[in-house]
Amino acid sequence: MSYETIQIDRRDKGVAWIIIDNPPANAISEKLMTDLEQAADELGADPSVRVIVITSAHEKTFVAGADLKAMIQSGSQYAGNEAGIVQQSVRMQQCFNRFATLPKPVIAAINGHALGGGCELALACDFRIMSKGKIGLTEVSLGLIPGAGGTQRMTRLLGRAKATELIFTSKRLEPEEALQIGLVNKVTTPEKLVEETTAFAEQLAEGAVKAMGLAKRSIHAAEGPVEDGFIIEAHSFAQTFKTGEPAVGLAAFFQKKKPQFLRSL
């Protein structure tokens, strides 16, 4: 496929990078969302791709969030049209949810500001590794609220009290502060971001990625009623035996060897 706002870089050991390049600030446009969805479909269906990394081609901004100029220009057409506004919010939610529900690990390599929608995209990933910039849900400072899943994902990640504080104050967190509260998983330097993200991605790629996808589904189910989560977990557990990974993992366990999931499947 050809893309206008992103680049796909398939690297060694089953890791593929989605590099967002939508100048000047990587604003979330309709074209970017379409490209991201197509990339999720393409890489999700490719068995040689085991882990996906999302990052930016620009040094200052990971993703800037919604295109505010376009929002102002289209504001008049949405005035009094709640259905149109809901549709736009749902559109962004569905785009980011493609990565949240993708049955493969997804890592956000945050190399610049991730504010508003940029933070929401990062929250939709399984892991967040950050090197510089600031991160946060800043919509309330504009008289808006997060509309691409941010209120839901941040609350589930950090708890109601902390999420409410960050959303109400529109606080922009430095990397170390984001790490301390669990908003990001790891902080590194700009010089080492690619190296350390690659090492972590390759470590995941060597593992039982199909089992990770099923575990991801079950983990998400923990956000709903516990009885439903138990059912989804049980079915996901059963489905692991169809992947071929248990045969590799259990055989290696009894042989006291490291399982070679990547080479054996």
Pinpoint the alpha helices (H) of the chain. Answer: 30-45, 68-78, 82-100, 117-123, 150-158, 160-169, 175-181, 193-205, 209-221, 226-240, 245-254, 261-264
| 8 A C-beta contact, residue 43 and residue 11 | no
Structure tokens at 141: 């400072």
Structure tokens at 29: 């446009």
**Is residue 202 flagged as an active site residue?**
no
Choose among 177, 184, 196, 174: nearest CA to 123: 184
Phi and psi at residue 130, to the nearest 5°: -125, 140
CA distance 66 to 155: 21
Cα–Cα–Cα angle for 122, 128, 132, rounded to 5 degrees: 90
**Is residue 120 flagged as an active site residue?**
yes
Among 4, 120, 206, 233, the active-site one is 120
The Cβ of residue 177 has, within 10 Å, a number of other Cβ atoms equal to 16
Structure tokens at 139: 């919509």
**Maximum CA extent, the chain:** 68
Burial 51-80 (b: 16+ CB within 10 A, else e): bbbbbbebeebbbbbbbeeeeeeeeeeeee
Among 4, 82, 139, 196, the active-site one is 139
Positions marked catalytic: 120, 139
